[in-house]
Amino acid sequence: MEITINGKEESMFGNPPEVGEQLPKFKLEDADGNKVKTADIIGRITLLSTVPDIDTPVCSVETRKFNQEADKFPDVRFLTVSNNTVEQQKNWCAAQGVANLQMLSDENLSLGYAMKLYLPNFGALARTIFIVDATGKIIYRQVVSEITNEPDYDDALNALKKVAKRVDD
């Protein structure tokens, strides 16, 4: 699958999983250095967004947006994954006051390769949003075709509203 970065075509490691497929097995690292495996994510509806670099403007805006939405969906786990180090993510979260979602590091590219979201020539993950049901089945997928663009938040949040209660509805 190809996406663009400032209009220049970049190839992904493969084709990301489709709606209806199970979340593949991968290992990430949380802010405390603990391993978070796919099995740890299953069991609850999850909105999983991947961003190339948390220290860039678009990634920062996206993550703050989902942080704001997370408290409106108390039954949903919001995860943002980048291949930044745990330390970079902790520093960013502290500086931005992000506490409603969980940042996970894919510094070892386990998720990037398992979900085919890694951009080898760019050295980072593609910008994507997946919604996964409690059984680990992918029920929504958005791969942002131009990495410098923000995702379609409304589309993702409307899909989430179909499967999870929002407190202000």
- Give the separation between CA 30 and CA 38, rounded to whole angstroms: 13
| pLDDT for the residue 165 | 83
| pLDDT, averaged in runs of 10, over the chain (169 residues) | 89 93 97 95 95 93 92 94 94 88 95 96 95 97 96 96 82
| pLDDT for the residue 169 | 57
| pLDDT for the residue 157 | 96
Residue type at 106 in one-letter notation: D
| pLDDT for the residue 100 | 85
Segments making up each domain of the chain, as ranges: 14-162
| pLDDT for the residue 2 | 79
Asked whether the whole model's pTM tops 0.85, one would answer yes
- CATH code that applies to domain 14-162: 3.40.30.10
Which of the following is catalytic: 12, 54, 59, 115?
A: 59
Alpha helices, DSSP H, located in the chain: 38-41, 57-70, 86-96, 110-114, 153-163
| pLDDT for the residue 113 | 96
Burial track 98-119 (b if 16+ CB lie within 10 A, e otherwise): beebbbbbbbebbbbbbbbbbb
Query: Is 59 part of the annotated catalytic residue set?
Result: yes
